Structure 1
Amino acid sequence: MILAVHIGNSLLEIGFFDRPQWTISRLSAHRGMTADDALLALHALSAMRGAPVSIEEAILSSVSPGLTPVLCEAIERYAGLRPLVVGPGVKTGLNIKINDPSELGADLVCLSAGVLAKYRPPILLVQAGSATTLSYLDAQGGFLGTIITAGTRHMLDSLVRHADLLNPVALRPPAKLLGTDSVESMQSGVLLGCAEMIDGLSRRIMAQHPVETAVMTGALADTLLPHCRTAFVKDDTLLFDGMAAILERQRKRS
């Protein structure tokens, strides 16, 4: 069995791969998390599976450097082996064509490895999470670049934080486009506005580059996708499929 862990900006995503499928859980990530906290979470998720877990390989990707050693320790204590940490020096098979390849986040590295393993390039890849990213991989699988903007939930939080008369609302579809109270108005502006932003940026990318496949993934993909006009394929396991593909490449090299 493979254990794959991704440390995001606000979520800790943990996947167990018992071929042929993933079991994925998402927990809140915070900078005060300790190795003991993470270890307890791993044991709790194992207990929920209802069967003994034997980990053969482990991999970790992280966009939160302060938590990387914490999760490395927790995984080693839990599985009895050190995880492969996605980063400089790890052969991913990607041809990263940006100015400084080391700047590309581990999440986008894993997502790109996953999307190339599953779909035909050229590919438009949208990640809807704490941040919203739109990335492009060319016909040869080269990573040309990405657009980064604030995530949908952060846009809503920012609106509430900076407008004294607006209160927090649930991030759900509005009853109608033109809201008749502050809740509907905010839901329409944030949710439909973010969907239109994704569509608009996608159109701009596709006007400059050919796209064979458009894929959306991330914690907010289910929320946004019904309101997008672009014909995206939704893929919930893409990040973890990419980590599995990277592990497979390491096995072939050893």
Structure 2
Amino acid sequence: MLFAVDIGNTNIVAALFDGKNLRNQWRIASDSRRTGDEYSSVISTLIRDENIQAKDIDKAIISSVVPDLLGPFVTVSQRLTKKKPFVLSSALAFSGQLPVRLPEGSTHELGTDLLCNAVGAWELFHGANIVVDFGTALTLTVTDSKGIIRGITISPGLRTAIHALATNTAQLPIVPLEAPSSSLGSTTKEAIQAGVVLGYKGLVEYLISRVKDDLYAASGDRQDSVSVVATGGLNSVLKPITDSFVVVDKELTLKGLRTISEICGS
């Protein structure tokens, strides 16, 4: 089995794949103060609780956007598999090994989580696509019909926006991430929900439209040929109030990791 780890700023998602089958996944809080020993104890307990034998886990792959947590999870992986894990690097986007790539000579910076998203989306559509990832940051990753990653947009995530309001004001509270029935907020809670949740609906829909226009100018891919997939833990907030997404796949990043592992022989 493959032990796949997606280390994000808020959460770490660890998973086990048996072939292409996603067998188990766990979400753990990201905490750079924790050591490899501590995370090993947590992961070992989670695996044992599922009656899985560590000897059946023979390889590992890690994507991390938190440098301080990479070392601890290399330790976790080595203890599980008795070998070094494959650590994903953005340089892989230039290698020609993957079905997607950055343009030749590009100076683009690409997080490994976004590379996984692009690979996962290509496996879904085999054509031009946009991945909208609702995480700590809200990102759009844009790939053309030739598999070239044309660009990224980055905005504060929904929860990040809610917490920024509460942290930087004296009287605004943290409110549930739910769409209000009206944009005319009559309470502080409704007003924040209208501004953030409905505002982000507009942000996402505008960015998708603008990105499709810019992708057409850059690659000739028609707007109606571009598929849009949503992923990330907070996609459920906007899913009920927008029809922008062809597919919603919360496991897209993990599936991209699995595909990369398969291609690179990790």
Q: TM-score range by the shorter chain?
A: over 0.9
Distance 2:43 2:146 in 1: 38
Unpaired segments ≥5 residues, structure 1: none
Letter in 2 for 1:77: R
Contact 1:199 1:229 in 2 (8 A): no
Aligned to 2:143: 137
Offset of residue 207 of structure 1 = 2.3
Letter in 2 for 1:217: T
Distance 1:96 1:41 in 2: 36
Offset of residue 21 of structure 1 = 2.5
Aligned to 1:24: 25
Distance 2:255 2:245 in 1: 22
Normalised to the residue count of structure 2, the TM-score between the two structures is 0.88
Offset of residue 20 of structure 1 = 4.4
Unpaired segments ≥5 residues, structure 2: 217-221
Contact 1:120 1:213 in 2 (8 A): no
Aligned to 1:207: 213
Distance 2:51 2:198 in 1: 41
163, 166, 170: which one pairs with 1:157? 163
Q: Alpha carbon RMSD of aligned pairs, Å?
A: 1.8
Letter in 1 for 2:74: C
Distance 1:196 1:44 in 2: 43
Offset of residue 58 of structure 1 = 0.5
Aligned to 1:38: 39
Aligned to 2:235: 221
Identity over the aligned pairs, expressed in percent? 27
Q: Report the CA distance shift for 1:185/1:126 in structure 2 as closer, same or farther (over 3 A).
A: same
Letter in 2 for 1:30: D
Contact 1:120 1:212 in 2 (8 A): no
Distance 1:59 1:41 in 2: 18
Q: Report the CA distance shift for 1:166/1:65 in structure 2 as closer, same or farther (over 3 A).
A: same
Letter in 2 for 1:140: K
Comparing 18-27 with 179-188, which one deviates more in the overlay? Answer: 18-27
What secondary structure is seen at the aligned counterpart in 2 of 1:45? Answer: helix
167, 170, 176: which one pairs with 2:173? 167
Offset of residue 89 of structure 1 = 5.3
Contact 1:217 1:238 in 2 (8 A): yes
Alignment coverage as a number of residue pairs: 251
